[in-house]
């Protein structure tokens, strides 16, 4: 039997007509550019250079920048998701070691997404481990992985705790098998640190009590200090004191490290009495009080105007020639008690003379100035900070990297971007420690982007300096730079920026960057071509974006009257293997509703066929109602009423929305009154509460089928029967149901005579000369049904 396709092809060839196929799933992804002559739209065409070739090679897209070892672990997770054959255990073990070695060497935190991948890889290696064979990971590799997890993440991660626990248990099982390995890496300290950093300080304390770690007394003190630090971070005084009691019961000496931690805890709480009590607590083994403890005590006294006790401390410190660190504490205390910059300068003179008399060639240095500047920043006093820097210059103390970083911070706090840039240029000749300048430079880039006063080259000059050193771009920095590139239509640069940095962000940080692209697409100020190119970047980088975040983009393309683009968004979700991305019932409802507004028959057939093939979708009343609305909007009311029969016969039954849509289908259906009247009679017989939406749809169905007299009677009896006065919705539905100019004049006269207060509002919608002039499209959108 010859196919229908063959007949269509030959008929079109004989009639000299083009052969088109509208069911293709892969329609052009580039938006059509409207023609200037108003003749429609045409797709963008390719441009050829002179002689048909280009003198420069095409730009190669930048490959994603992953941490070494991350890509194989991502591949393992993907294979798990699609139930495919995973990589070999040897490959995953090598990737695991490579990943954590890279994190340890770069001193970067392991983000929650990466921890999840590493946990899955470790579990996979355990499952693949055979008896009487060498483990895939050595004890040293396990220790390095645990050590790398110590850097505190932005927020607690359950996967990190689980991975740390499994690593610690695995290391304990290997103790004794590798001599001397535990001396290089203190896994107990690393595990305690991870627990305390992830809001599990009580669990860390329990571990120390149940499994006494091996090691010297100083190692035990270091472990317990981490527990105290965790409770200090949480502000939990009860558990903090209980831990101190446990330390005392274990006969662990109260060293100056524990003493400093306790004094700092109560000083931060501004509890003067307890700070004084613990400051006066004797230290074991005739230890001396650390300068940081003196500083915490004096700052607490200054905050509470306690001069007598603080003066005693200062006097005791000056009984002997103080070291330079003690002088720094005294200077800081003087600034906290209200002494000005000049007075602090005179105290430095006193220090210099006293040291010279003692033949000590030590005076204030740049660290002294930086501490004073930090205090001024804490007081939110940039002017004082500047004066301290000038004071250092008088003493021939020149700024170092830390000084320039502090300058950038306090100048940006008062929006002095030019001053921050000057500090940045000064920073170029300095050597920063542990990349401590990166946060300040990130803030400078963000401020320059937001201000709108700096040209592109100036901004990129700072950003390129950060990128050349392969430093971390904060998510906010990436957001601002992406927005800058998007506004300049530099889509390749935008994608390169994301490929470089987005894979090193946590899930929360990726959402922050992702929202920039979504908001750009939803902004009506941006033209359609820019929005589409932005969406293409978004979908290629942020593949994990759930359907709830994608659906606004789909609706936006419908609102821009590009249902073909909305269908592409739908199929991008459809082709995903992630259950959180694949379309669900709400997605189909949104699609059919958008198609109904666009009246796009081609898209309707495409999406409806997809729904038929989707085994996860069970048609319910909402889906069938949206289908009914879509078929009615594409001038197929008979097909729409078939869905109404399915709704009425279903166990769920009809809803108010489905009733309204059914009446709207009857409005444009030939002899639709034969369906509308029985439906209305059924509603009245079952004593269903009729609201204005349902009543307006029924009046429209009567008027649409030429029953104007009945429609007028229904409108006049509405107040007496249902208790509501006909409003703009009801009267507009009555008027808009017909396309006959003469009938429209009659209905207009009826509305003027009976409802003169509604007429001006109805008239404001547009001219009533013709049906199209009334503004049918706008009015139709105003009466869309909430499904």
Q: What is the pLDDT of residue 471?
A: 86
The answer to whether residues 578 and 549 touch, using CB atoms and an 8 Å cutoff, is no
- Percentage of the chain with pLDDT > 70? 86
Q: What is the pLDDT of residue 778?
A: 34
Q: Which residues make Cβ contacts (< 8 Å) with residue 704, sequence separation at least 6?
A: 666, 667, 668, 672, 737, 738
**How many Cα neighbours within 13 Å face the side chain of 252?**
25
Handedness of CA 491, 497, 502, 508 (dihedral sign): negative
Q: How far is CA 428 from the centre of its chain?
A: 32
What's the domain range around 261?
Answer: 255-316
Q: What is the pLDDT of residue 65?
A: 85
Provide the β-strand partners of residue 765. Answer: none
From 316, 333, 351, the end of a domain falls on 316
**How many Cα neighbours within 13 Å face the side chain of 664?**
28
Q: DSSP assignment, residue 471?
A: P
Exposure string of 575-592, with b = 16+ CB inside 10 Å and e = fewer, is: ebeeeebbbebebbbbbb
CA 115 – CA 156 distance, rounded (Å): 12
Q: Which residues make Cβ contacts (< 8 Å) with residue 63, sequence separation at least 6?
A: 499
From 316, 338, 354, the end of a domain falls on 316
Q: What is the pLDDT of residue 370?
A: 93
CA 20 – CA 762 distance, rounded (Å): 43
Q: How far is CA 538 from the centre of its chain?
A: 13
For 43, phi then psi, to 5°, come to: -70, 155
CA 22 – CA 463 distance, rounded (Å): 47
User: Strand, helix or coil at 490?
Assistant: coil
Structural domains counted in the chain: 2
* Strongest mean pLDDT among 142-146, 564-568, 574-578: 564-568
From 267, 299, 316, the end of a domain falls on 316
Q: Which residues make Cβ contacts (< 8 Å) with residue 73, sequence separation at least 6?
A: 92, 95, 96, 99, 117, 118, 120, 121
pLDDT surpassing 60 at residue 24: no
CA distances in angstroms from 35 to 99, 307, 468, 566, listed in the order given: 53, 81, 44, 22
Looking up tokens 């640069």 gives: 493
Tell me what the mean pLDDT of segment 669-683 comes to.
Answer: 92
Where is 33: in which H helix or E strand? Answer: strand 32-34
CA 92 – CA 129 distance, rounded (Å): 12
User: Strand, helix or coil at 539?
Assistant: helix
Q: Which long-range contacts (CB under 8 A, 24 or more apart) does 646-652 make?
A: 646/619, 647/621, 650/620, 650/621, 650/624, 652/620, 652/621
Tell me what the mean pLDDT of segment 31-43 comes to.
Answer: 46
Tell me what the mean pLDDT of segment 730-738 comes to.
Answer: 85
Give the pLDDT confidence of 145-164 residue by residue, as tens digits: 999 888 766 666 688 889 99
Q: Is residue 704 part of a domain?
A: yes
Beta strand extents in 408-449 (DSSP E only): none
CB burial of residue 286 (10 Å; 0-12, 13-18, 19+):
exposed
Phi-psi region of 221 (alpha: psi -120 to 50; beta: other; left: phi over 0): alpha
Q: Which residues make Cβ contacts (< 8 Å) with residue 486, sequence separation at least 6?
A: 494, 517, 520, 530, 534
Q: Is residue 298 part of a domain?
A: yes
pLDDT surpassing 90 at residue 403: yes
DSSP per-residue letters across 585-646: HHHHHHHHHHHHHHT-HHHHHHHHHHHHH-TT----HHHHHHHHHHHHHTT-HHHHHHHHHH
CA 370 – CA 314 distance, rounded (Å): 21
Q: Which residues make Cβ contacts (< 8 Å) with residue 259, sequence separation at least 6?
A: 278, 281, 283, 287, 289, 290, 293
CA 741 – CA 750 distance, rounded (Å): 14
Q: What is the pLDDT of residue 132?
A: 65
Q: Which long-range contacts (CB under 8 A, 24 or more apart) does 285-291 make?
A: 285/253, 285/255, 287/255, 287/256, 287/259, 288/256, 289/256, 289/259, 289/260, 290/256, 290/257, 290/259, 290/260, 291/325, 291/326, 291/328, 291/329
Do β-strands 41-43 and 32-34 pair in parallel, antiparallel, or remain unpaired?
antiparallel
Give the pair of three-digit tokens for residue 611.
């729904």
Q: What is the pLDDT of residue 537?
A: 95
The answer to whether residues 299 and 332 touch, using CB atoms and an 8 Å cutoff, is yes
Q: What is the pLDDT of residue 18?
A: 65
Helices 187-197 and 201-210 pack at an angle, to 10 degrees, of 150
Helices 158-174 and 112-128 pack at an angle, to 10 degrees, of 40
Q: Which residues make Cβ contacts (< 8 Å) with residue 250, sequence separation at least 6?
A: none
Helix then strand then coil, in percent of the chain rounded to 5, is: 65, 0, 35
CA 39 – CA 95 distance, rounded (Å): 58
Q: What is the pLDDT of residue 429?
A: 81
Q: How far is CA 516 from the centre of its chain?
A: 9
Q: Taking the CB of residue 11, how many other CB atoms lie within 10 A of it?
A: 11
Q: What is the pLDDT of residue 278?
A: 93
pLDDT surpassing 80 at residue 628: yes
Looking up tokens 């293409």 gives: 536
CA 742 – CA 487 distance, rounded (Å): 52
pLDDT surpassing 60 at residue 507: yes
Least confident of 172-181, 295-304, 734-743: 172-181
pLDDT surpassing 60 at residue 34: no
Q: Where are the alpha helices (DSSP H) in 252-381?
A: 256-268, 272-279, 291-303, 307-317, 324-336, 341-357, 366-378
Instruction: Identify the band that residue 9 occupies on the pLDDT scale cut at 50, 70 and 90.
Output: low
Give the pair of three-digit tokens for residue 768.
């009533």
Q: What is the pLDDT of residue 441?
A: 94
- Percentage of the chain with pLDDT > 90? 52
Averaged confidence pLDDT in the chain: 85
Tell me what the mean pLDDT of segment 533-553 comes to.
Answer: 95
Instruction: Identify the band that residue 49 occupies on the pLDDT scale cut at 50, 70 and 90.
Output: low
Q: Look at residues 570, 597, 599, 595 and name the one whose alpha carbon lies nearest to residue 584.
A: 570
Q: Which residues make Cβ contacts (< 8 Å) with residue 16, sequence separation at least 6?
A: none
Where is 41: in which H helix or E strand? Answer: strand 41-43
CA 557 – CA 665 distance, rounded (Å): 25
With helix as H, strand as E and coil as C, how does 108-162 read? CCCCHHHHHHHHHHHHHHHHHCCCCCCCCCCHHHHHHHHHHCCCCCCCCCHHHHH
Tell me what the mean pLDDT of segment 743-762 comes to.
Answer: 87
pLDDT surpassing 70 at residue 576: yes
Q: What is the pLDDT of residue 781?
A: 34
Q: Is residue 750 part of a domain?
A: yes
Tell me what the mean pLDDT of segment 42-54 comes to.
Answer: 48
Q: Is residue 676 part of a domain?
A: yes
Q: Is residue 509 part of a domain?
A: no
pLDDT surpassing 50 at residue 184: no
Q: What is the pLDDT of residue 611?
A: 94
Q: What is the pLDDT of residue 176?
A: 58
Q: Is residue 787 part of a domain?
A: yes
For 42, phi then psi, to 5°, come to: -140, 150
DSSP per-residue letters across 185-236: --HHHHHHHHHHHTT-HHHHHHHHHHSPPPS-HHHHHHHHHHHHHHHHHHT-
pLDDT surpassing 70 at residue 447: yes
CA 404 – CA 226 distance, rounded (Å): 32
Q: What is the pLDDT of residue 228?
A: 92
Q: Is residue 262 part of a domain?
A: yes
Q: Is residue 672 part of a domain?
A: yes
Q: Taking the CB of residue 524, how many other CB atoms lie within 10 A of it?
A: 9
């Amino acid at each position: 039997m010859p196919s229908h396709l063959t007949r269509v092809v030959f008929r079109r060839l004989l009639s000299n007509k083009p052969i088109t196929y509208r069911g293709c799933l892969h329609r052009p992804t580039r938006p059509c550019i409207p023609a200037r002559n108003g003749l429609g739209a045409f797709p963008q065409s390719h441009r050829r250079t002179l002689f048909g070739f280009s003198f420069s090679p095409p730009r190669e897209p930048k490959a994603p920048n992953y941490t070494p070892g991350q890509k194989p672990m991502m591949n393992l997770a993907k294979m798990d998701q699609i139930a495919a054959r995973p990589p070999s255990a040897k490959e995953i073990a090598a990737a695991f070691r490579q990943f954590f070695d890279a994190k340890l060497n770069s001193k970067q935190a392991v983000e929650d997404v990466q921890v999840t991948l590493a946990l899955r890889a470790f579990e996979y290696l355990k499952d693949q481990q055979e008896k009487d064979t060498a483990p895939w990971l050595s004890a040293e590799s396990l220790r390095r992985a645990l050590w790398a997890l110590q850097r505190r993440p932005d927020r607690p991660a359950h996967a990190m705790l689980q991975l740390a626990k499994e690593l610690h248990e695995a290391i304990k099982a290997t103790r004794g098998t590798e001599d001397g390995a535990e001396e290089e890496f203190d896994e107990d300290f690393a595990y305690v640190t991870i627990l305390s950093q992830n809001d599990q300080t009580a669990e860390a304390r329990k571990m120390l009590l149940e499994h006494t770690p091996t090691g010297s007394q100083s190692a035990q003190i270091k472990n317990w200090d981490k527990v105290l630090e965790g409770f200090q971070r949480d502000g939990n005084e009860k558990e903090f004191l209980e831990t101190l009691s446990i330390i005392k019961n274990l006969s662990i000496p109260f060293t100056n490290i524990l003493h400093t931690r306790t004094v700092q805890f109560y000083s931060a709480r501004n509890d003067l009495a307890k700070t004084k009590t613990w400051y006066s607590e004797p230290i074991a083994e005739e230890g001396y009080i650390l300068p940081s403890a003196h500083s915490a005590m004096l700052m607490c006294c200054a905050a509470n105007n306690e001069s007598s006790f603080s003066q005693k401390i200062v006097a005791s410190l000056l009984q002997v020639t103080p070291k330079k660190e003690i002088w720094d504490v005294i200077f800081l205390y003087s600034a906290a008690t209200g002494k000005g910059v000049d007075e602090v300068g005179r105290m430095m003179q006193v220090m210099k003379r006293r040291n010279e008399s003692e033949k000590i060639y030590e005076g204030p240095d740049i660290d002294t100035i930086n501490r004073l500047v930090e205090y001024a920043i804490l007081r939110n006093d940039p002017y004082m900070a500047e004066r301290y820097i000038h004071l250092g210059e008088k003493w021939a103390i020149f700024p170092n990297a830390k000084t320039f970083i502090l300058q950038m911070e306090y100048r940006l706090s008062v929006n002095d971007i030019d001053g921050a840039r000057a500090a940045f240029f000064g920073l170029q000749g300095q050597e920063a420690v542990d990349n401590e300048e990166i946060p300040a430079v990130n803030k400078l880039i963000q401020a320059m982007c937001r201000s709108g006063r700096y040209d592109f080259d100036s901004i990129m000059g700072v950003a390129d300096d950060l990128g050349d050193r392969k430093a971390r771009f904060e998510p906010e920095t990436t957001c601002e730079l992406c927005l800058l590139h998007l506004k300049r239509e530099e889509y390749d640069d935008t994608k390169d920026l994301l490929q470089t940095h987005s894979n090193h962000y946590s899930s929360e940080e990726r959402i922050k960057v992702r929202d920039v692209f979504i908001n750009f697409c939803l902004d009506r100020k941006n033209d359609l071509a820019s929005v589409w190119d932005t969406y293409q970047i978004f979908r290629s980088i942020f593949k994990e974006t759930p359907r709830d975040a994608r659906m606004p983009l789909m609706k936006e393309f419908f609102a821009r009257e590009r249902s073909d683009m909305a269908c592409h968004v739908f199929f991008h979700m459809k082709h995903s293997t992630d259950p959180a991305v694949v379309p669900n019932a709400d997605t189909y409802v949104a699609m059919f509703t958008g198609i109904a507004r666009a009246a796009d028959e081609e898209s309707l057939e495409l999406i409806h066929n997809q729904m038929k093939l989707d085994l996860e979708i069970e048609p319910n009343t909402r889906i069938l109602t949206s289908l009914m609305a879509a078929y009615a909007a594409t001038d197929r009311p008979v097909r729409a009423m078939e869905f109404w029969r399915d709704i009425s016969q279903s166990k769920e039954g009809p809803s108010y929305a489905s009733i309204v849509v059914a009446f709207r289908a009857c409005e444009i259906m030939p002899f639709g009154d034969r369906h509308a009247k029985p439906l209305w009679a059924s509603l009245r017989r079952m004593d269903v509460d009729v609201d204005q939406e349902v009543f307006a749809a029924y009046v429209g169905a009567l008027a649409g089928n030429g029953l104007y007299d009945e429609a007028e009677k229904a409108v006049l009896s509405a107040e007496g029967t249902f208790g509501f006065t006909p409003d703009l919705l009801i009267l507009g539905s009555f008027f808009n149901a017909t396309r006959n100019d003469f009938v429209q004049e009659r209905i207009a006269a009826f509305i003027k005579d009976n409802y003169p207060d509604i007429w001006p509002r109805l008239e404001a919608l547009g001219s009533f000369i013709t049906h199209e002039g009334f503004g049918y499209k706008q009015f139709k959108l105003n009466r869309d049904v909430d499904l």
